[in-house]
Structure formats: structure tokens, C-alpha cells
């Protein structure tokens, strides 16, 4: 397989993380476990979703410390979530992330 550019890798990573969130892998620890990416990369990727016009919100769990909760995709913007779901496995493999168990 050809080497991917940093731009394409970043784009695929953002798409895959959005897919994970929509699939219920919706916390930073869960995302780092599913992908093997460092915590900071996961946090940066979550912040960068807005650059694709994907609206993602953190939803705090009532009665828990301020950083306990999960992420939720509110608006997919120009991204077709159905297409993404059907191509997520290819993105995972391309990025070299471990298979979901």
C-alpha cells in the first residue's frame, strides 16, 4: 500500500473517531483503547472534528466530576454517516488501529 500523506491520515483519523463516537466508543479512554493513539492525540482529534463541520458535544454526567461524561455527534455536517459506517473497517485497517473486540 502507498504511504499516506499527513493530510489524508489526519482526515481518516477524524472520520474514524467520529464513527467510534457514533458507535458508542464515546470517551477519551475508550477511544485511546480502541485506537492505541495517545490521549493527547485523541483529545486533539476530538477538537479537530469541527474543522470538518462535524458538531460533537461533551455531555457531562450529572453528579460526577466535571470531566466524567461522553461525547455525542450532534450534526454530521457534510459527512455521510452511512458511508462512514460502511467504510469504517477500511479506515481502521489503513490507519493500523487494532480490531475492535
Note the pLDDT tens digit of each residue in 49-81. 999 999 999 998 887 777 788 999 999 999 999
CA distance 26 to 30: 7
Query: How many alpha carbons fall within 13 Å on the CB side of residue 25?
Result: 17
Q: Which grid coordinates are listed for 91?
A: 479506515
pTM for this model (two decimals) = 0.91
Domain ranges of the chain: 6-95
CA distance 13 to 40: 14
The CATH fold of domain 6-95: Arc Repressor Mutant, subunit A (1.10.10)
Bridge partner residues of 20 (DSSP): none
Note the pLDDT tens digit of each residue in 7-49. 999 999 999 999 999 999 999 999 999 999 999 999 999 999 9
Amino acid at each position: 500500500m502507498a504511504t499516506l500523506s499527513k493530510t489524508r491520515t489526519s482526515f481518516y483519523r477524524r472520520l474514524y473517531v467520529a464513527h467510534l463516537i457514533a458507535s458508542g466508543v464515546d470517551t477519551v479512554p475508550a477511544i485511546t483503547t480502541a485506537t492505541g493513539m495517545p490521549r493527547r492525540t485523541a483529545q486533539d482529534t476530538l477538537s479537530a472534528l469541527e474543522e470538518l463541520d462535524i458538531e460533537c458535544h461533551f455531555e457531562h454526567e450529572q453528579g460526577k466530576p466535571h470531566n466524567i461524561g461522553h461525547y455525542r455527534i450532534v450534526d454530521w455536517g457534510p459527512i455521510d454517516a452511512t458511508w462512514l459506517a460502511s467504510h469504517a473497517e477500511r479506515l481502521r485497517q489503513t490507519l493500523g488501529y487494532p480490531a475492535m473486540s
